């Protein structure tokens, strides 16, 4: 920006205060950029910077989060229909192992054991193989064309043409076909088209039936196990904190209620801040405000209660990112 070459980020702070100068940020930035800048939390203590892994909520690196990040980057150019199938997939009432198979769709052999044809992709194993396609036709689920270029594109078309319970049966049949492939490859057990479809239908039916059972609790509910809306502390005070997002005005807020061991109100405070932030970030900033209040009051015992498990564990953990 012309004329601001020698300015630093701290030039956007309030004088003698490590917080954004809202008017300055808005004067120098577009409304969209200003909302993003104002949503960046600042370290009020001025401590040293530390590493934070952006793909994991707790800030620590994990192989799972790296895999998910690579997958999202790999498919970032996909159309909205392609992304929509994953939302539908995870919401289906079928065994998790079936959803996991369709999600991963990992091929380890180059030759299809079902038809003996050279197969380079999971698309052939699960859809275009002659034996496999016969399974789809027998099950009445061959809604999309067999001429699709990949498993992903075929799933997009199928999820658009098939609705309701049939979507779950599509995913379950993929798993049954993969199971038949493994039985033939590792156990030399041959299954017919009818066997595969029957196995798929019975598996999903049995799983759905099991989910509907009323399983009794192994032990009765006790005080403090989360069954109550609020449980008073045994001593000291308890701070309950929550956050809210106001998208229309690019603001976020927090609220905190403080009660003693008798459940009596000690204090209540709330605040609204400028900036567009994620719900998780709004939660942690609300927790920070609660801890700041606690720091300024002479209470020796206190419990800070939030509904965000990830950040509660992160605060209590002594682990630091490297």
Per-residue pLDDT of the chain (322 residues; tens, 9 = 90+): 566 777 888 888 888 888 899 999 999 888 889 888 998 888 776 677 778 888 887 788 888 888 888 877 765 555 555 567 777 887 888 888 888 888 776 444 556 766 766 565 788 888 888 999 999 999 998 888 888 777 888 888 888 888 878 888 999 999 999 999 888 888 888 999 999 999 999 988 888 877 765 545 444 545 544 444 667 777 789 999 999 988 888 889 999 999 998 889 999 999 999 888 888 888 888 998 998 999 898 888 888 888 777 677 767 765 554 3
The C-alpha atoms of residue 268 and residue 258 are separated, in whole angstroms, by 6
The pTM for the full model equals 0.45
In the prediction, which pLDDT does 54 show?
Answer: 82
Contacts of 92 (CB under 8 A, 6+ apart): 99, 167, 168, 171
**What's the CA gap between 83 and 159, in Å, rounded?**
11
pLDDT confidence of residue 225:
46
In angstroms, the first-to-last Cα distance of the chain is 35
Show the tokens assigned to 227: 């069954």
Contact (Cβ atoms closer than 8 angstroms) between residue 102 and residue 96: no
Residue 115: partners with Cβ closer than 8 Å, 6 or more residues away: 129, 130, 131
Neighbours of 247 (CB within 10 A): 9
Collect all residues with Cβ–Cβ distance below 8 Å to 152 and sequence separation of at least 6. Answer: 78, 82, 85
Considering the domain 237-316 in this protein, what is its CATH number? Answer: 3.30.420.10
Q: Where in the chain is the domain with CATH 3.30.420.10?
A: 237-316
What residue ranges in 173-321 does DSSP mark as E strands?
Answer: 237-246, 251-260, 265-274, 302-305
Position 322 scores a pLDDT of: 39
């Amino acid at each position: 920006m012309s004329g601001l070459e020698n300015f630093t980020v701290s030039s956007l702070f309030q004088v003698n205060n490590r917080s954004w100068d809202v008017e300055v940020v808005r004067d120098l930035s577009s409304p969209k950029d200003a909302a993003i800048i104002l949503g960046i939390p600042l370290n009020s203590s001025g401590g040293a910077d530390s590493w934070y892994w952006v793909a994991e909520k707790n800030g620590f690196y994990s192989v799972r989060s790296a895999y998910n990040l690579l997958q999202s980057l790999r498919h970032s150019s996909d159309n909205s229909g392609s992304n929509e199938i994953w939302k539908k997939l995870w919401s289906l009432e079928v065994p998790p192992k079936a959803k996991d198979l369709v999600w991963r769709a990992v091929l380890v052999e180059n030759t299809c054991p079902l038809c003996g044809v050279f197969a380079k992709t999971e698309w052939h194993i699960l859809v275009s193989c002659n034996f496999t396609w016969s399974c789809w036709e027998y099950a009445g689920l061959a809604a999309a064309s067999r001429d699709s270029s990949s498993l992903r594109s075929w799933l997009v078309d199928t999820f658009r043409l098939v609705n309701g319970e049939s979507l779950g049966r599509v995913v379950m049949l993929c798993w049954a076909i993969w199971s038949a492939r493994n039985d033939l490859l590792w156990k030399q057990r041959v299954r017919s088209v009818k066997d595969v479809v029957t196995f798929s239908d019975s598996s999903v039916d049995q799983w759905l039936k099991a989910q509907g059972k009323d399983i009794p609790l192994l032990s009765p509910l006790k005080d403090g196990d989360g069954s109550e809306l609020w449980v008073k502390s045994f001593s000291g005070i308890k701070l309950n904190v929550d956050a809210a997002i106001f998208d229309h005005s690019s603001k976020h807020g927090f609220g905190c209620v403080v009660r003693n061991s008798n459940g009596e109100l000690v204090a209540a405070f709330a605040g609204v801040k400028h900036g567009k932030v994620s719900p998780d970030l709004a939660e942690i900033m609300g927790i920070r405000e609660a801890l700041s209040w606690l720091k300024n009051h002479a209470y020796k015992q206190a419990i800070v209660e939030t509904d965000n498990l990830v950040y509660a564990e992160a605060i209590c953990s002594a682990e630091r990112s490297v």
